[in-house]
Amino acid sequence: MLYRENGQFKTSYTADQQIFPILQDRVAIGALLAIAFVIVPVFGSEYIFRAILIPFLILALAALGLNILVGYCGQISLGTGAFMAVGAYGAYNFLVRIDGMPLIGAMLLGGLCATVIGVLFGIPSLRIKGLYLAVATLAAQFFTDWAFLRIGWFTNNSSSGSVSVAGLNVFGLPIESPVAKYLFCLSVVCVFALMAKNLTRSAIGRQWMAIRDMDVAAAVIGIRPMYAKLTAFAVSSFIVGVAGVLWAFVHLGAWEPAAFSIDRSFQLLFMVIIGGLGSIMGAFFGAAFLIVLPILLDQVPHWFGIPLSTATTSHLVHMIFGALIVFFLIVEPHGLAKLWSIGKQKLRLWPFPH
Amino acid sequence: MGFFLETLFGGLMAGMLYSLIALGFVLIYKASGVFNFAQGAMVLFAALAMARFAEWIPQWLGFDNLILANLLAFGVAMLLMIVLAWAIERLCLSKLVNQEGITLLMATLGISYFLDGLGQTLFGNDIYSINVGMPKDPAMILESTFEGGLLLSKEDLIAALIAAALVAVLALFFQKTATGRALRAVADDHQAAQSIGIPLNRIWVIVWSVAGFAALVAGIIWGSKLGVQFSLSLVALKALPVVILGGLTSVPGAILGGLIIGVGEKLSEIYLGPFFGGGIEIWFAYVLALGFLLVRPQGLFGEKIIDRV
């Protein structure tokens, strides 16, 4: 009844090509942004910011970056944690070694470092495909784990690679309180989500999708596989690198290479798959699912007053988490974003049967 | 020269142990096209079951005989792995037929989370030991040829022999038995195999059980070497470059890949390590495999990948 496009006529190409062509969608996204930018900062508690919202936003950004590579270009990567680490340590070095480096500048330069490493480890994708590539990208993961632990220059010669940053500020505004951190992350995520959405709707995005669907066929119709694959690696690792900077600087404050271990890579890949491959929205759904679920599972025994030791709880959480992932893959292999679009299709007709 | 040979032998034996784990990957990939990330969790689960049952069974039945306890524990653990294979097939794989490779990969990751949790809930999360009577003292050989002789770990030697025997048995099973032929048929083409009356579901249970058996053997050997603890499931990550180096579909590839990686790791740590500041073992195997894949994308013995539009 409420959600339908009847009567919304497009009279110009710009109107036809906008991101949200349906008025109700525009209203909904506007309301969502208003809630996120105004209402949540006013009413949110510190715990919600620290434990849920900030990790959610940053990991959603990383998942967004990974989704460009895996979901749009079809190149499976298990080295996401590595690219996050490169971004974080790159930005750290720029911040420490150059006097008066602004946070935004360091963040973008950190992203660029991740881009360079991403393209470097993306080169094998020209020869290797599918699962072989997935395992090959693990090389990036183990190499950076080792490099940040063993090569002192990257970490300013601190022991065991643990470093910290303090006194962050953007244009003179301090990023110290949870609300400020949240708003900063939210702004960055919004900018990058918009950028990613537009990139995937453009010529290069269509090239990525052609490569994903069948790279030989794409090459035959004149798409350069090298250019398409390497740009996907570049854009993806830039976004992932920026997410790494945010994770290290804003969320953790002090970190060591273990913060970007192989578990992080798997976690992000889970987000992308559960959220939905090839969908910007999916990255957010996936991140929300994977952040909230463990917290909820942790709380459930407390609600019922079941006394369980911490170790048992963590094992049970592991089990339920694994089982739920399998369950979700069986029920909807195309992810939560697919469920969302099915829901929207149904809503167009509701409450009429057809 | 003596030192070089010693490192070489050490590498070869470590390599045999990697191939043992790599075998599990290859078996399942060959027969069902699933890249089984849960192999490491299966190794941990099997080793935990073996370690704990070897401890519990004598208590329950009230006898004191190491060999009997180990044999019984092996039987029970194997039974558990077969039940596990059946459950995985019934609850997970049979519902995911015809899904893309990446979905199946993620499903096995989910299984590995589940198994990690289940194993430690059932069997506890301390460090356990498996005592199957492996000799711990090293042996000296060729003392006449080299000054001081070559130091060899007997434990590694026995492990390598067991691995070699396992590979021989598996090769015979695949080449000579009717079930093995059915497995190869399924690996070639699911639909064609089904159309001539090979029951896919039963084949999958069998192949996951065989992979479970490989995991159990690997778990016992690695467990008696390192102790049974959570980090055992990470050993599987070491075996991944072995699999892609050897080719995902080739049993001999898994063996040769394991040997190459084992030797490469040990030699590089000794001869290249000092230039990089040490600890390069963790990534050397991956970079070696990566470099190799650039030349031969399908691995050493993998089937040639042919692209058709």
Question: What span, in angstroms and rounded, lies between the C-alpha atoms of B40 and A99?
Answer: 47
Mean pLDDT of the region A210-234: 92
Q: Which two tokens stand for residue A47?
A: 């715990």
Domains of chain A, with CATH numbers? Answer: 46-255+262-349 (1.10.3470)
Q: Which two tokens stand for residue A72?
A: 């749009």
The per-residue pLDDT for B150 is 67
Mean pLDDT of the region B285-301: 80
pLDDT tens per residue across span A164-189: 887 788 887 888 888 999 999 999 99
Least confident of A30-44, A54-68, A205-219, B12-26: B12-26
Question: What span, in angstroms and rounded, lies between the C-alpha atoms of B266 and B280?
Answer: 10
Nearest residue in chain B measured CA to CA from A139: B286
Residues in chain B with CB shorter than 8 Å from the CB of A151 are 277
Q: Which residue in the block uniquely carries the two structure tokens 């500020």?
A: A169
A160 — contact with chain B (CB < 8 Å)?
A: no
Q: Is the CB of B117 less than 8 angstroms away from the CB of A262? A: no
Q: Is the CB of B279 less than 8 angstroms away from the CB of A149? A: yes
Least confident of A143-152, A261-270, B133-142, B152-161: B133-142
Q: What is the pTM of this model?
A: 0.87
Å between B283 CA and nearest CA of chain A: 5
Q: How many residues does chain A have?
A: 354
B124, burial (CB in 10 Å: exposed 0-12, middle 13-18, buried 19+)? middle
Question: Looking at per-residue confidence, does B15 or A30 come out higher?
Answer: A30
A271 — contact with chain B (CB < 8 Å)?
A: no
Q: Is the CB of B111 less than 8 angstroms away from the CB of A138? A: no
**Stretch 179-208 of chain A: residues touching chain B, C-beta under 8 Å:** none
Closest CA to B230 of A140, A144, A322, A311: A311
pLDDT tens per residue across span A49-58: 888 899 999 9
pLDDT range class, residue A32, cuts 50, 70, 90: very high
* HEC assignment per residue over B188-222: HCHHHHHHCCCCHHHHHHHHHHHHHHHHHHHHHHH
Question: What span, in angstroms and rounded, lies between the C-alpha atoms of A215 and A221?
Answer: 10
The per-residue pLDDT for A46 is 85
Least confident of A86-100, B82-96, B244-258, B276-290: B276-290
